Chains A and B, each alone.
Chain A
């Protein structure tokens, strides 16, 4: 039996004086795909951050491939094959577009793999290809989002964690990103998708977990995530 690529066991986490997660347990098998849905403030982003090692759990444990990673540093999560595209404009603002890509690809794919990967990224987002020498901080918000996504989409990690994937992207670009996601899903990459756009996420992922006030309130196959389940979640979500 293979170990799940990611397992959170009874994880709690805090944000300053506020408790953000209360005993969340979650497993993702290799190649599986999970959509994490929930109202704002439910703790979705914190789950994504715990999963990639950005935030450490105040209690509970995090396993990657069956290895306890609870106290490990963020880079060790990345080296274990977890790639996280954080929400917002997560690019190196003073780097050029190309430097942003090279920095990440060089570690993940080795020196030889870099040129091909960079070209692949430009093929995925032609707008970036037109601006390869531009300083990333001067890109528009959506373009920065593309750059941040290009990094993780091209690397084909073992687990891809994407937070608020479609935020700030034009609908037509969101379509493209989801197409790419469903194609890399076929290559064995597991997905953890945090989304507001419920429909896209449900279409893409096999499984859904609903997060409500820092705990998982429902988990099941996407097909069973009826309108009612999802709506209930959002109705109870306002604080």
Chain B
């Protein structure tokens, strides 16, 4: 499989403490990959290094064959990396559709200062249609005009996904998407994500604590502990690895019927 994202030897120190120690991962086109690990293992740090929020002390990130290590956050987003947030990040005072419209406008790059001044900066019919298509896909069509404050957390997370989708990402990074959601909502989110992914064909890298979601949703798994990868491989095998159990799972029973559907 062609790797869409590859990290080589990502290393990061925080005031003398090594948070990441030479982490290599790769994600193939259209693949669903999970990243788990105990608290403080460096998952968030790694995520931030991929996204350009943090600069690693060593190592490179390659995306679709190009070295993106020196690109800034928004450039990486434009290169095709979308993301959602663990603690939901939405724009206040902004309707659901407007969230997508902003992303669409940034993505198609048709905004210009002089157009704004001449009153041509408002959303076009084509843009609205494209946004509504994505809202439809996510089951949010009826909520298009709702202010974002009126949404539940689960719906808010879907809006985040929709906003990311407008930029037509080739890779979607999901940062603990189940956090704050109950079991039903998590299951619904997973189902929707899988449907959307089947249609659009992007790859997913998932950081998660909900082992049930990880085991059902991902095909491959990386396990981080103390900044280093301690295990990797197909999800089912990796979850039954004794080292993973020792460091992470404890007594938790993992559904044995896992992996690809």
- The reply to whether chain A is a binding partner of chain B is yes
* Residues from 171 to 189 in A contacting B, C-beta threshold 8 Å: 171-176
Give the chain A neighbours of B188 by CB distance below 8 A. Answer: 238
Selected from B44, B45, B182, the residue in CB contact (under 8 A) with A39 is B182
Nearest-CB residue, chain B, relative to A16? B149
- Cβ contact within 8 Å between B183 and A234: yes
Nearest-CB residue, chain B, relative to A238? B184
Give the chain A neighbours of B251 by CB distance below 8 A. Answer: 171, 175
Of B32-40, B63-71, B195-203, the segment with at least 4 beta carbons within 8 Å of chain A is B32-40
* Residues from 22 to 53 in B contacting A, C-beta threshold 8 Å: 37-45
Nearest-CB residue, chain A, relative to B45? A140
Selected from A140, A172, A235, the residue in CB contact (under 8 A) with B40 is A140
Give the chain A neighbours of B111 by CB distance below 8 A. Answer: none
- Cβ contact within 8 Å between B209 and A238: no
Given A40-B153, A172-B249, A175-B251: A140 in contact with B185 (beta carbons within 8 A) = no
Q: How far is the CA of A142 from the CA of B41 in the complex (A)?
A: 10
Selected from A143, A167, A171, the residue in CB contact (under 8 A) with B180 is A167
- Cβ contact within 8 Å between A169 and B185: no
Q: How far is the CA of A145 from the CA of B86 in the complex (A)?
A: 14
Selected from B39, B87, B180, B184, the residue in CB contact (under 8 A) with A140 is B39
Mask, A132-173, CB within 8 Å of B = 1, is 000000111111011000000000000000001001111111
- Cβ contact within 8 Å between A40 and B154: yes
- Cβ contact within 8 Å between B185 and A171: no
Q: How far is the CA of A196 from the CA of B181 in the complex (A)?
A: 8
Q: How far is the CA of A171 from the CA of B223 in the complex (A)?
A: 14
A41 touches B (CB below 8 Å)? yes
B132 touches A (CB below 8 Å)? no
A237 touches B (CB below 8 Å)? yes
- Cβ contact within 8 Å between B39 and A238: no
Q: How far is the CA of A167 from the CA of B209 in the complex (A)?
A: 8
Given A139-B40, A142-B39: A172 in contact with B154 (beta carbons within 8 A) = no
Q: How far is the CA of A211 from the CA of B41 in the complex (A)?
A: 35
Selected from A138, A167, A172, A176, the residue in CB contact (under 8 A) with B248 is A172
Give the chain B neighbours of A140 by CB distance below 8 A. Answer: 39-45
* Residues from 233 to 259 in B contacting A, C-beta threshold 8 Å: 247-252
- How many of chain B's residues touch chain A, expressed as a range? 20 to 34
CB distance from A37 to the nearest CB of B (A): 9
Q: How far is the CA of A105 from the CA of B250 in the complex (A)?
A: 30
- Cβ contact within 8 Å between B252 and A171: yes
B179 touches A (CB below 8 Å)? yes
Given A141-B44, A167-B179: A175 in contact with B250 (beta carbons within 8 A) = yes
- Cβ contact within 8 Å between B154 and A170: no
Give the chain B neighbours of A175 by CB distance below 8 A. Answer: 250-252
Given A39-B182, A40-B185, A237-B182: A172 in contact with B250 (beta carbons within 8 A) = yes
B176 touches A (CB below 8 Å)? yes
Q: How far is the CA of A237 from the CA of B154 in the complex (A)?
A: 12
A127 touches B (CB below 8 Å)? yes
CB distance from A124 to the nearest CB of B (A): 14
Selected from B39, B180, B183, B184, the residue in CB contact (under 8 A) with A173 is B39
Q: How far is the CA of A146 from the CA of B179 in the complex (A)?
A: 16
Q: How far is the CA of A55 from the CA of B45 in the complex (A)?
A: 34
Given A40-B154, A140-B44: A168 in contact with B39 (beta carbons within 8 A) = yes
A111 touches B (CB below 8 Å)? no
Can you pick out 26 interface pairs between chain A and chain B where the beta carbons lie within 8 Å of each other?
A: A39-B185, A40-B152, A40-B153, A127-B40, A139-B40, A140-B39, A140-B42, A140-B45, A142-B39, A143-B40, A145-B39, A167-B180, A170-B37, A170-B39, A170-B248, A170-B250, A171-B251, A171-B252, A172-B247, A172-B252, A173-B39, A173-B250, A196-B182, A196-B183, A235-B184, A237-B182
6 shortest A-B CB distances, which residue pairs? Answer: A142-B39, A172-B250, A171-B252, A140-B40, A170-B38, A175-B250
For the complex with contacts A40-B182, A140-B43, A141-B86, 12 further pairs of A-B residues with Cβ separation under 8 Å are A39-B182, A39-B185, A40-B153, A40-B154, A40-B185, A146-B39, A168-B86, A172-B38, A172-B252, A237-B182, A238-B188, A239-B152
